Amino acid sequence: MPFRLLREQDVRALVSAPDLVPAMTRALCAFSSGAALQPTRTSLWVGEERSFYGLMPAYLPGDGGLGTKLITYFASNHTRGLPSHFATILLFDSATGALTALMDGSYITKIRTAAVSFLAVRHLALRPVRRLAVFGCGVQARGHVSTLACLVPSIEEVRVWSPYPDLAGFVEDLDGRVRPAVRAAADGEDAARDADVIVTVTSSAEPVLLREWVADDALVVVVGACRPEHREVDPALVAASRMFVDSREAALTESGDVIQGIAEGRFSAEHIRAELGEVIAGTRPGPSGAGIVMFKSLGLAVEDVAAADLVYQRALAADAGVELSL
């Protein structure tokens, strides 16, 4: 049976983060309503450095797609001049089970995550977003700055902070590509102070964002710290926030910011108010009134499969990629 091979340059030519907003909306609602089928990701810890290998299958009935993402995270790749993350997505015919597409998943992971963060801003932010702070200077930081600056026209200021020396090059590379201009913050407090939305996309195992830096009605979007032993934000900040997640089950089994807070008695599982898909669908209320709001994004297989299916359909229409057979 023939299948279509789509390299990263093919995927980039076919979709962008704004293109994925409708698909991510449908995927999140399908997941939270139970219409989509997706187990919690299977993870293996590889070697003494506990590098990560994950298997993420999902099925969205109808036209949503059937597929699996394979993802790895090897932190030491930075010393080898390689990306820390690699991802590949396989799509299958939901009627026959035959392989239909094999495609790069790294770019999809980048843009679908940023598109979901935009949906969190759209549905959870309590005030107009004028000041955006981003913690991190990697692939996800780049995707979030570019996507949010494009899709949230009210943004007037973007501040980025990272403890790594890459920060200056990161900001320089974005100069002229993103409006408004991106500024390198002096430190984490300088980045976060008075920000309307704060996005953390770091690989840090220890908190990089403190409670006292965050305005009382800010939205904090936490994307990093996807291991039970990792924390990206101050536990006092997690406890003080009204928490929303992409998946309750994933948050309670994968997120160190949630798991460790519960273990320490700071809050219970009921601290999670709703999944983003429930808020979008209107089955659970979003935040209202004063107080910090937090969205914990762990990334869902349904997001990857929905995005990959859109890429595949566009590839068929444009005859993009290469047709192969096993």
Structure tokens given for 130: 């004028």
**pLDDT value of residue 45:** 85
The model's pTM is 0.95
**pLDDT value of residue 292:** 98
**pLDDT value of residue 173:** 85
**pLDDT value of residue 13:** 98
Extract the residue ranges of the chain whose pLDDT is less than 70. none
Three-class secondary structure of residue 287 per DSSP: coil
Note the maximum CA span of the chain: 58
One-character DSSP codes across 154-212? T--EEEEE-SSTHHHHHHHHHTTTSSS-EEE-SSHHHHHTT-SEEEE----SS--B-GG
**pLDDT value of residue 43:** 87
Domains of the chain, first to last: 2-108+302-325 (3.30.1780.10), 117-299 (3.40.50.720)
Query: Cα(244)–Cα(120) distance, rounded to whole angstroms?
Result: 9
3-class SS shares of the chain: helix, strand, coil, % to 5? 40, 25, 35
**pLDDT value of residue 1:** 84
**pLDDT value of residue 142:** 93
Q: Are the C-beta atoms of 287 and 293 separated by less than 8 Å?
A: yes
